[in-house]
Structure 1
Amino acid sequence: MGFLDLLLHLSGFVAPALALALLMPTASRWLLRLQPVRAMRWWVQAGIGFAVGVVVLLGGLWVFGRDGKMATYAALVGVMATLQWLMAGGWRR
């Protein structure tokens, strides 16, 4: 496997985490009408969400021995939604 192939495989592996990390801060403000914590900007929330999402995907790879399992994606969505709720201060409402 060449470097370009490795880069394409890695980008395909982390793409779901990146997509959710970019969509969650915007969607939580728009859909849930939560006022975000003022000290944390959306790109900080996206960065934290991306890091946590990659950890969840790596955990799914470790547990199942391969990537792309639906249980891993379900765990990714659940963890990312819970994390966004915590970062937006949803427990205070």
Structure 2
Amino acid sequence: MSPLDAFWHIANLFAPAWGLAALLAVAIKGLWRRQAKSLGWRRLWAWGSAGGTAAVIAALVVLGRDGRMAGYALLVLGVALPQWYLLSFRR
């Protein structure tokens, strides 16, 4: 595997987490405007991406491979919990 292939392999592993974090940040800024007024897009995305990345790594360790439904459930939880925490407790 070339270095470029390895880069794309890793990027595609984490792409669902980063994409879901971006979509959830847009939804939060659109649906909860007053509550999310002090939170920036990048901050919401960064926290969600970090949680999603940790969830993908945890799913790989626990489940042994990528692509299982339990892994995707963990991914959704990993993205949503940090953004919920920011929205509820850290303004």
Shift of 1:78: 2.1
Question: With structure 2 as the length reference, what TM-score do the two structures score?
Answer: 0.84
- Please give the TM-score of this superposition, normalised by the length of structure 1: 0.82
Identity %, equivalent residues? 37
User: Which structure 1 residue ranges, 5 or more long, are not aligned?
Assistant: none
After TM superposition, the structure 1 = structure 2 runs for residues 13-32 of structure 1, keeping only pairs within 5 Å, are 13-32=13-32
Is residue 64 from structure 1 mapped to residue 63 from structure 2 by the alignment?
yes
Tell me how far 1:29 sits from its aligned partner.
2.8
Superposition misfits of 4+ residues, deviation over 2 angstroms:
29-34
Q: Judging changes above 3 Å, is the alpha-carbon distance between structure 1 residues 85 and 37 closer, same or farther for their aligned structure 2 residues?
A: farther
Structure 2 gaps of 5+ residues are: none
Q: Which residue matches 1:52? A: 51
Partner of 2:57, secondary structure, is helix
* Count of equivalent residues: 89
RMSD: 1.8
Confirm or deny: 8 A CA contact 2:52 2:79 kept in the other structure.
yes
What's the offset of the Cα at 1:50? 0.8
